[in-house]
Chain A
Amino acid sequence: MKYNYKIYARALVSALDEAQDLAQKEKIIKNFLALIQKNKDTRQLKKIIDFASKIIYKKEGRQKIILETARPQNNLKNLFQKFFSEKDIIEEKINPNILAGIRIVINDEKELDFSFKKRLELLN
């Protein structure tokens, strides 16, 4: 039977929850990857990890913040850290398509778009 990536992710998260220490967690992950390989579901792996991390973030009350800029910036992470909680995970990403400015993506669901590309679109 083929399992949906959500089922895998939920199973992984609940198994990790029950783990006592780091060594056990590592063992669970190793076994999990072996299972995926055995079931020939490696193609779903990215989806599984994305979904599992979403569940974990939600559980821990964290947010995943992506700061998209057109070019590499210095000290961007630190500059934005104060706007978010300490638990939140901030990532930087280079996306030349936005031309200039910054685009802030929260939890892959919402965005605040201060990019030049958006401005150009609004001019239309």
Chain B
Amino acid sequence: MSFDIIQKLKKEIEGIKPDVQMEEFGEVIDVADGICKISGLYGALSQEILEIETEKGKRRALALNLEEDTIGALVIDDFTDIKTGDKVKGTKQILSIEVGDELLGRVIDPLGNPLDGKGPIFNSNSKPQRYFLENKAPGVLDREPVNTPLHTGIKAIDAMIPIGRGQRELIIGDRQTGKTAIAIDTIINQQFDTQTRKPVKCIYVAIGQKESKIAKIIQTLEDYGALKYTVVVVASAGDPAARLYLAPFAGCAIGEYFRDKGDDALVIYDDLSKHAVSYREISLLLRRPPGREAYPGDIFYLHSRLLERSAKLSKEKGGGSLTALPIIETQLGDVTAYIPTNVISITDGQIYLESDLFYQGIRPAINVGLSVSRVGGSAQTKAMKRIVGGLRYTLAQFRELQAFVQFASDVDEATRQKIERGQKMVEILKQDDLSPMPFEKQVIIFYAGLNNYFEKVELNKIKETEKNLLDYISKFHNDILENIRKTNELTPENEAKLKEALGHFFENLN
């Protein structure tokens, strides 16, 4: 038996005719902190994967700096085994990642390796595609304006800072102001917004975060049934800078796969300030000249080429979309720092979170005055657009009066009423973590709020009343909700029904 096997093996080995070709090679002349200097290898391409032959096997590196006679390469695998004098060969391949529907529900590293212990991602039956990490953004002709809403389930955002599919909306704020919470809520809400729109596939890219926080986020997504349509790309604080640098590009490549397929995808980069820091580390080690705040000259291009790949494709291109929610962490609310201003100018608007508001109990702590969505308005549903038209104005007026009234001893009745309404509106806009609200319910609440139905409700009872109202509507007048959900509009007949229902509810309240 064993003789047979050996004979077969011998035959197989004899049958192999390796195709020996002239190969170019270089030599490692310097290695430190995940960066390699390589001499020779004159035919190497920019962004090419190089293979370093170490004693413990091959290690991959990414050619970044092509100089006169050396190459500065970023080691992707473990760099501790690399010695000077190790041989390096080119592969003529650009960095890419295997993508497919099988990625949904999985946790991977930026190179596509599973991290969740659920075994290999692709089996023999699956047909994964290879997507380049660095890809060209769709051109002008391939795009169309944003026209479909991406509901976050957060009242303040869906009403005043609407996001459309294919938009890039920045979430910016200090530490501990609920930036990640907004992103997670948005992912969770996607399962409730599938009746008239395509479900959104989500990609959460964790860049330089604590493993404990990432584990918690994955657990939350799983508990709320959102992991099944989400891919989590992890480059934690313990990973080398190379992985942190590649993570958003990997997440974007996965998003592009869904976008090109005609699906809608949402990618969250949490957060790009840490990404910029890791790129600064790499650039300084590669001895590229430092610029402002020691960031390299191409830091703007790094983020703009990444975010430019988010797009709404035209019908001819399949009509898919890739929405991006980059997150930026500011220091003491300073939005004028280098990276925040860069990303603000690249994106189509920003959601600005403030720690002062957060500690006042206004959560999500969105500063409505400074937050803006430049293109989302055209994607907002008709129902929402019509109702919340005056909301921004009401709140702005309220804030102005509130500041003024602080110094005045007595105020007239009209001003008092305006302030009271504003206070109630602020109370309505408050929302707990992990409780995204479907848009049709938001429409009901805003309709009641802006038409003064809450006038006689005390401020501390707003939350409770809101909950009871939604309970009442969904139990006794579900047809109203159903109609809004289906038509995305508040038709006159439906509005009359809603008015009657609201009248009935608020009459019986006291």
Residues of A within 8 A of B (CB): 106, 108-114, 118-119, 122-123
CB distance from A93 to the nearest CB of B (A): 14
Q: B18–A110 contact, CB under 8 A?
A: no
CB distance from A79 to the nearest CB of B (A): 18
Q: B16–A110 contact, CB under 8 A?
A: no
Chain A interface: which of B22-30, B272-280, B330-338? B22-30
Q: A113–B40 contact, CB under 8 A?
A: no
Q: B23–A113 contact, CB under 8 A?
A: yes
Interface size on B, residues (CB 8 A): 13
CB distance from B30 to the nearest CB of A (A): 13
In the bound complex, what is the Cα–Cα distance between A119 and B24 (angstroms)?
A: 18
In the bound complex, what is the Cα–Cα distance between A70 and B23 (angstroms)?
A: 20
A123 contact set on B, CB distance < 8 A: 13, 16
Smallest CB gap from A47: residue in B? B29
Of B18, B20, B25, which contacts A109 at CB under 8 A? B25
Q: A114–B23 contact, CB under 8 A?
A: no
CB distance from A112 to the nearest CB of B (A): 6
Q: B20–A110 contact, CB under 8 A?
A: no
Can you show 11 pairs from A to B with CB atoms below 8 A apart? A108-B40, A109-B40, A109-B42, A110-B22, A110-B24, A110-B25, A112-B22, A112-B23, A113-B23, A114-B20, A122-B18
A114 contact set on B, CB distance < 8 A: 20
Smallest CB gap from A119: residue in B? B18
Q: B16–A119 contact, CB under 8 A?
A: yes
Residues of B within 8 A of A (CB): 13, 16, 18, 20-27, 40, 42
Of A106, A108, A113, A122, which contacts B16 at CB under 8 A? A122
Q: A109–B24 contact, CB under 8 A?
A: yes
B20 contact set on A, CB distance < 8 A: 112-114, 118
Residue with the highest number of chain B CB atoms closer than 10 Å, among A111, A114, A122, A123: A111
Given contacts A111-B22, A122-B16, 19 further A-B contacts (CB under 8 A): A106-B22, A108-B40, A109-B24, A109-B26, A109-B40, A110-B22, A110-B23, A110-B24, A110-B25, A111-B23, A111-B25, A112-B23, A113-B23, A114-B20, A118-B18, A118-B20, A119-B18, A123-B13, A123-B16
In the bound complex, what is the Cα–Cα distance between A20 and B466 (angstroms)?
A: 101
B23 contact set on A, CB distance < 8 A: 110-113
Smallest CB gap from A109: residue in B? B40
A110 contact set on B, CB distance < 8 A: 22-25
B27 contact set on A, CB distance < 8 A: 108
In the bound complex, what is the Cα–Cα distance between A108 and B85 (angstroms)?
A: 12
CB distance from A13 to the nearest CB of B (A): 16
In the bound complex, what is the Cα–Cα distance between A110 and B87 (angstroms)?
A: 11
Smallest CB gap from B40: residue in A? A109
In the bound complex, what is the Cα–Cα distance between A112 and B26 (angstroms)?
A: 14
In the bound complex, what is the Cα–Cα distance between A83 and B507 (angstroms)?
A: 103
A109 contact set on B, CB distance < 8 A: 24-26, 40, 42
In the bound complex, what is the Cα–Cα distance between A55 and B30 (angstroms)?
A: 23
In the bound complex, what is the Cα–Cα distance between A110 and B42 (angstroms)?
A: 10
In the bound complex, what is the Cα–Cα distance between A111 and B53 (angstroms)?
A: 14
In the bound complex, what is the Cα–Cα distance between A109 and B24 (angstroms)?
A: 6
CB distance from A56 to the nearest CB of B (A): 17
B25 contact set on A, CB distance < 8 A: 109-111
A106 contact set on B, CB distance < 8 A: 22
In the bound complex, what is the Cα–Cα distance between A119 and B16 (angstroms)?
A: 9
In the bound complex, what is the Cα–Cα distance between A70 and B202 (angstroms)?
A: 55
CB distance from B41 to the nearest CB of A (A): 8
CB distance from A4 to the nearest CB of B (A): 11
B40 contact set on A, CB distance < 8 A: 108-109
Smallest CB gap from B55: residue in A? A97
A112 contact set on B, CB distance < 8 A: 20-23
B42 contact set on A, CB distance < 8 A: 109
CB distance from A30 to the nearest CB of B (A): 29
A119 contact set on B, CB distance < 8 A: 16, 18
Residue with the highest number of chain B CB atoms closer than 10 Å, among A106, A109, A123: A109
Closest 4 CB pairs of A and B: A122-B18, A110-B24, A110-B22, A109-B40
A111 contact set on B, CB distance < 8 A: 22-23, 25
CB distance from A83 to the nearest CB of B (A): 13
